[in-house]
Copies of this chain bind each other. A is one copy, B any other.
Amino acid sequence: MDRELLKGSTPLLLLSLLCEGPMYGYQIIETVRQRTGGSYTLKEGALYPALHKLEATEFISSYWETQENGRERRYYSLQPAGEAFLMAKKKEWNQFVDMVQAFVGPRA
């Protein structure tokens, strides 16, 4: 997958995932990798900064949870403001796809 195309899609992806329920970082990476059949591995250097930014703007919130074995995980969950933002992002995404499609032509 071309790295350049990915730019800007990360927040949309994260928000969409968290819309299904709270998740923690490592889990997000694994989920993305599995759902794409391994063709896209979200990098930590992209994930964590994006997550933190989303939290700073209060689109998501986080909480630590201790597992039975004593280890900790940081879960992120979608906030109401984030849900609204996700809607807007989705609309933007569709417009973007339409736009490019208008030049590239419809899918073969």
Contact = CB atoms under 8 A, between A and B. Distances in A.
A6 interface: yes
Contact of A96 (B6, B92, B103): B6
A2 interface: yes
B99 A1 contact: yes
A97 interface: yes
Contacts of A107: 94
A93 interface: yes
Contacts of A90: 104, 108
A21 B90 CA distance: 33
Q: Indicate how many identical chains form the complex.
A: 2
Contact of A5 (B16, B93, B105): B93
Interface in A6-42: 6-9, 12-13, 16-17, 32, 35-36, 39-40
A102 interface: yes
A104 B93 CA distance: 9
Contacts of A9: 5, 96, 100
